[in-house]
Amino acid sequence: MHAGADVVDAALKSLGLRQPGLCPTCCASTKVLGSVCRFCRESFCLAHAQAEVHGCGDAAHKAGRSAARKEVSTGAPSKAPKAQQSKARGLCL
């Protein structure tokens, strides 16, 4: 295996570089058949359009819960941990 390629790939991913119009998970084209996730705003192919499939399952569950229960604003600086950004990325780059 060429470790160097993995490093470059990881670096590119960390920059958020990816090709538009491609599913971030499997690189399938989303221009014809695609769906934009309402949580992460990314375009996914039909196979990965569901939030649970591409890594937005937590957001989907939270949204489902907060829909019934209003979020309470304390006005204090948010100490809440950042939303998990562990999306299931494929090997697009």
Residues lying near Zn ion in the complex (CB under 5 A) are found at 23, 25-26, 28, 37, 39-40, 45, 47-48, 56
Altogether, the residues listed in the chain come to a count of: 93
Q: Is 4 helix (H, G, I), strand (E, B) or coil?
A: helix
**Pick 7 or 29: Cβ nearer Zn ion:** 29
CB of 58 to Zn ion, least distance (A): 10
CB of 27 to Zn ion, least distance (A): 7
CB of 59 to Zn ion, least distance (A): 7
Q: Which amino acid is at 13?
A: K
- Over 55-69, what HEC string results? CCHHHHHHHHHHCCC
